[in-house]
Structure formats: structure tokens, C-alpha cells
């Protein structure tokens, strides 16, 4: 049996896809009775959902606050396998005797090096000016940093790369053509099962507080992150409100993080800007939205549209990167760089009831289909890591 060391550091990050992924793999490994040890950084407590006390008594838990402590653990000759749920936590030098299984969710900064509206997502004038200068003089800075980070482990003789979509697999092939194809394994990203039963009292209080009604609003999420591209979607909605093409509807925008430029709209009463909400409240908003807009410029997989689909909420999504692979026929697509095209899709959803119903039905169908694929791939992934 393999002796596995499970890195929990990716799971300690707040509002991060790789954190959700890593923590879910951990929970499933425990559920399936897998044997392994873990390490984490006790000084990093940004994710309130992260818990150590869920680990079985058979698990050895190591506290590593520095890179050198991680490397001492790796060189202890205790382990055959190191599992990392994200390539961003792979800076430690890994001994040749260990097989590193490292998850590369996406090559985000290598695929999308920037955007002309990126500076608008900064909170302050100084931050916006700094971003403009970075875009102009160091446009490849983050791309080079990601490539450098991956290059640290890419030549390990026993390396196995796990990724979450075929899009990312072939993106890795494109940027690192010398990696043998058999070393890159695609397992669709698992999707934690969400509760469909909501707290009615919480629901009523939240909707009354923000003056929104069920099925009378569109939803945009993660608005404070530039590659989620909320600005163009917000512009499209604002233009439609100005033309009086969206009467009796509102737009709920989550995760704005205080960026005043993103929230600057002409039709203020038609928008509800909220910071990040709990996982339960996010599901509530997805379930009761008239439509979900996902204009992301880059995704290695893309869980939120699938969450909307399970409730029959129609999804209008960016055609970029892995989104169309994952959502397939369950969403209707647009060019994420075209405000006009986003408007076009919104109008289609608003004014054609047969199209609306079709989007809802096909979304549910695709979600069920994908659920089977994800569950099968989860079993394969657990076996690949631990057995």
C-alpha cells in the first residue's frame, strides 16, 4: 500500500476553487477509509470551513510553517506519494524517491495575460494606477511567474499531473510540450453535493433586506476578480435598463469587494451589490435567480454554472476556455469580450419563453449527466492517489 502525504495547505485559502477541491478530496478520502498523513500551516487560518479535527486518529498531522519544514518532512523517507491539490503550493523541493501527484487546475495567467478593464477592479486610485503601469510595462509578469512556478516541479522524474478538464490538459501540452501525455490525467473536478432545502426564515430576511424577489433577478458572482469579467456583464445590464428593456427585473452582483468603479452604474436602483455570502446563501440565490450570467475570461473547469443548472436556472456563459466543454449543451454562450453580444443573449432569455424553458430543461439534463461523470472520476482519482 502506498504511503501518502496529503498537503492541506491549498485547502486553507479563502474563496478559492482549489481550496474547495482539496478539502472535498480530503473529506472523500476520509469517507472511503483511505490511509494517509497530512501537513498544514497553523499560521494560515483564512478559510473558516477548514478543520483539522475531522481527521481520523490514524492520521499523523504535521505542522509546517516554513518551506524548510515541509522539505524536512519530505526527506524523512516515510512517503511514496505527495498529493497537492494545487500547483500554487508546490514550491518545496521534492525528493526523487517520492511520486508527486500535483493538480494543475488551469494555466490562467498563461492563457489570459490581462484585460483592458483590469485596473477597474482595484479599490483605490493608487491601486488602479499601479495596475495600469503593470499592464503597460510588465504585461507578462504573472504569466512568467506561473510558468516559473510550474517549471520547479515539471522535470521531476516521477511527476504525475492531475487536471480537471481536457481544455487544461491540452493547454499544458501547448505550453509544456515535452511532458509525456501519459503523465497528464484528466479527472473532472468533483462537485460537492449542495443542500436544496433552505432555511425559510433566513431566506425571507435576506430577500426582504435587499428588496429582491424570487425569479425576478439575474445573478453575477465573484465580481471583484478581474478574470471573472463582471464589468462587461454589468455594463450590458446597465445599458438594457437605460433602454427600459429590463422592467421588473434586478441584477444581484456578489463579491464586489468594494471596487467603486465596478459598482458605478447609471441605474443604481436596479442593481444590488453584495460582498461574498455563505455557501448556503449562494445556493439560495442561484436557485431563485431568473438567470445566471457567467462571463469569465478563463476557467479550468467552472463549478458555479453547474450549481445553477441543478436548480433549473438558465445559464448564459462565456464561450472561453473550459466552460463550453463542461457545460456543453446546458448553457447558451457569448463572446465574453463583447458587451453587445452579452446584451443580445440577455434579451433572448428575457423575451423568448420557449428558449427560456429549453435552457432550464437542458441545464438540468446536462447537470445530471455530468454528475455521473464527476462521481466516476472521483472514484478513479481516489484510487489513483491512494491505492
Cβ within 8 Å of residue 247, ≥6 positions away: none
Query: Which residues have C-beta within 8 Å of that of residue 226, sequence separation ≥ 6?
Result: 115, 117, 118, 121
- CA dist 312 → 150, 155, 202, 268 (Å): 38, 45, 22, 28
The pLDDT confidence band at residue 191, using thresholds 50, 70 and 90, is confident
211 Rama sector, left if φ>0, alpha if ψ -120 to 50, beta otherwise = left
322-371 confidence digits (pLDDT tens):
999 999 999 999 999 999 999 999 999 999 999 999 999 999 999 999 99
Cell representation of residue 242 = 437605460
Three-state secondary structure of 355-379? HHHHHHHHHHHHHHHHHHHHHHHHH
- Partnered with residue 63 across adjacent β-strands are 40
pLDDT at 195 over 90: no
HSE-up (13 A, CA, CB side) for residue 291: 29
Residue 159 grid coordinates? 511527476
Q: How far is CA 343 from CA 277, 293, 333, 340, in A?
A: 27, 11, 12, 5
SS (H, E, C) 200-264: HHHHHHHHHHCCCCCCCEEEECCCCCHHHCHHHHHHHHHHHHHCCCCCCCEEEEECCCCCCCCCC
Q: Give the pLDDT mean for 39-43.
A: 94
Domains 4-112+142-192 and 200-372 agree in fold = yes
Residue 45 near residue 76, CB atoms below 8 Å:
no
In the prediction, which pLDDT does 203 show? Answer: 84
Q: What's the mean pLDDT when you consider all of the chain?
A: 94
Fold of 4-112+142-192: Rossmann fold (3.40.50)
| Confidence bin at 192 (pLDDT 50/70/90) | confident
Residue 128 in contact with residue 120, Cβ under 8 Å? yes
Query: Which pLDDT band, with edges at 50, 70 and 90, does 276 fall under?
Result: confident
Burial class (CB in 10 A: 0-12, 13-18, 19+), 272: middle
Give the C-alpha distances (Å, rounded to integers) separating 94 from 70, 76, 84, 293: 9, 11, 12, 41
Instruction: List the 332-334 sheet strands across, edge first.
Output: 271-274, 250-254, 217-220, 291-294, 315-318, 332-334
Per-residue pLDDT at 237 exceeds 60: yes
pLDDT attached to residue 76: 95
Domain boundaries, the chain: 4-112+142-192, 200-372
Q: Is the pLDDT of residue 96 over 80?
A: yes
More confident call, 90 vs 115? 115
The confidence score (pLDDT) of residue 197 equals 65
CA-based nearest residue to 176, from 152, 158, 142? 152
Contacts of 120 (CB under 8 A, 6+ apart): 128, 231, 259, 261, 262
Alpha carbons within 13 A on the beta-carbon side of 60: 10
Helices (H), 44-176: 67-74, 108-111, 125-137, 141-151, 166-175
What's this model's pTM, rounded to 2 decimal places?
Answer: 0.93
User: Which superfamily, per CATH, for 200-372?
Assistant: Glycogen Phosphorylase B; (3.40.50.2000)
pLDDT of the residue at 45: 76
Amino acid at each position: 500500500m502506498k504511503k501518502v502525504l496529503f498537503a492541506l495547505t491549498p485547502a486553507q485559502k479563502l474563496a478559492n476553487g482549489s481550496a474547495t477541491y482539496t478539502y472535498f478530496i480530503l473529506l472523500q478520502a476520509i469517507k472511503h477509509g483511505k490511509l494517509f498523513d497530512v501537513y498544514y500551516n497553523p499560521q494560515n487560518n483564512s478559510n473558516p470551513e477548514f478543520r483539522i479535527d475531522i481527521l481520523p486518529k490514524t492520521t499523523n498531522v504535521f505542522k509546517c510553517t516554513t518551506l524548510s519544514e515541509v522539505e524536512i518532512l519530505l526527506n524523512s523517507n516515510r512517503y511514496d506519494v505527495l498529493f497537492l491539490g494545487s500547483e500554487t503550493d508546490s514550491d518545496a523541493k521534492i525528493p526523487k524517491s517520492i511520486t508527486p501527484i500535483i493538480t494543475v487546475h488551469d494555466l490562467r495567467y498563461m492563457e489570459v495575460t490581462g484585460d483592458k478593464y483590469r485596473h477597474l477592479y482595484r479599490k483605490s486610485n493608487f491601486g488602479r494606477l499601479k495596475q495600469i503601469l503593470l499592464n503597460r510595462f510588465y504585461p507578462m509578469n504573472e504569466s512568467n511567474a506561473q510558468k516559473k512556478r510550474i517549471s520547479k516541479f515539471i522535470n521531476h522524474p516521477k511527476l504525475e499531473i492531475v487536471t480537471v478538464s481536457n481544455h487544461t490538459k491540452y493547454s499544458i501540452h501547448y505550453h509544456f510540450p515535452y511532458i509525456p501525455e501519459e503523465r497528464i490525467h484528466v479527472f473532472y473536478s468533483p462537485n460537492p453535493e449542495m443542500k436544496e432545502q433552505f432555511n425559510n426564515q433566513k431566506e425571507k430576511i435576506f430577500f426582504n433586506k435587499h428588496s429582491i424577489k424570487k425569479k425576478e433577478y439575474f445573478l453575477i458572482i465573484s465580481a471583484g476578480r478581474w478574470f471573472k469579467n463582471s464589468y462587461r456583464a454589468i455594463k450590458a445590464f446597465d445599458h438594457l435598463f437605460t433602454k427600459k428593456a429590463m422592467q421588473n427585473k434586478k441584477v444581484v452582483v456578489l463579491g464586489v469587494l468594494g471596487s467603486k468603479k465596478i459598482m458605478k452604474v447609471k441605474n443604481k436602483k436596479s442593481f444590488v451589490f453584495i460582498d461574498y455570502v455563505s455557501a448556503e446563501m449562494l445556493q439560495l440565490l442561484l436557485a431563485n435567480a431568473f438567470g445566471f450570467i457567467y462571463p469569465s475570461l478563463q476557467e479550468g473547469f467552472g463549478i458555479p454554472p453547474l450549481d445553477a443548472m441543478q436548480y433549473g436556472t438558465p445559464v448564459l456563459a462565456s464561450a472561453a476556455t473550459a466552460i463550453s466543454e463542461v457545460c456543453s449543451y446546458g448553457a447558451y454562450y457569448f463572446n465574453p469580450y463583447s458587451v453587445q453580444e452579452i446584451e443580445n443573449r440577455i434579451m433572448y432569455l428575457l423575451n423568448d419563453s420557449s428558449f427560456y424553458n429549453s435552457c432550464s430543461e437542458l441545464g438540468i439534463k446536462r447537470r445530471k449527466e455530468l454528475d455521473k461523470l464527476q462521481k466516476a472520476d472521483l472514484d478513479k482519482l481516489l484510487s489513483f492517489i491512494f491505492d
